[in-house]
Structure 1
Amino acid sequence: MFKSSSFHTIDPKSRVIIPSRFRAHIKAFGNGVMISNMDGCLYAYVLDEWMKIEKKILSAKSRYMRQFKRFFLGNACECMCDKQDRILIPQSLKSYAGLEKKIVLVGVLDHFEIWSRERWDNEK
Structure 2
Amino acid sequence: MPAKHRDRLIERCGGHLVVTVDRDGCLLIYPLPDWEEVEAKLVRLSSTNKRARSLKRLLMGHAEELDLDGSGRVLLPAPLREFAKLDKHVVLVGQGNKFELWDEPTWHRLRDEWLAEDEGEDGELPGDLESLAF
What is the number of equivalent residue pairs in this alignment? 107
* Distance of 2:96 and 2:51 partners within structure 1: 26
Instruction: State the Cα distance separating 1:25 from its structure 2 match.
Output: 2.1
Determine which structure has the larger helix proportion and give its number: 2
Deviations 1:10-60 (A, max 9, x none): xxxxxxxx1011112210112010000111100100011111101111111
Instruction: State the Cα distance separating 1:71 from its structure 2 match.
Output: 1.5
Secondary structure of 1:88's counterpart equals: coil
Determine which structure has the larger strand proportion and give its number: 1
Query: Does the CA-based 8 Å contact 2:91-2:103 persist in structure 1?
Result: yes
Percent of paired sites with the same residue: 33
Note if 1:58 corresponds to 2:78. no
Under a length normalisation based on structure 1, what TM-score does the superposition of the two structures give? Answer: 0.82
Query: 2:5 aligns to what?
Result: 22
Instruction: State the Cα distance separating 1:109 from its structure 2 match.
Output: 1.0
Secondary structure of 1:110's counterpart equals: coil
Matches within 5 A, 1:11-90: 18-28=1-11, 29-30=13-14, 31-61=16-46, 62-90=49-77
Instruction: State the Cα distance separating 1:89 from its structure 2 match.
Output: 1.0
Query: 2:99 aligns to what?
Result: 112
Query: Does the CA-based 8 Å contact 2:30-2:97 persist in structure 1?
Result: yes
* Distance of 1:76 and 1:47 partners within structure 2: 11
Instruction: State the Cα distance separating 1:63 from its structure 2 match.
Output: 2.6
Under a length normalisation based on structure 2, what TM-score does the superposition of the two structures give? Answer: 0.76
Q: Which amino acid aligns with 2:5?
A: F
Secondary structure of 2:5's counterpart equals: helix
* Distance of 1:67 and 1:25 partners within structure 2: 32
Question: 5+ unaligned residues in a row in structure 1: which ranges?
Answer: 1-17
Secondary structure of 1:113's counterpart equals: strand
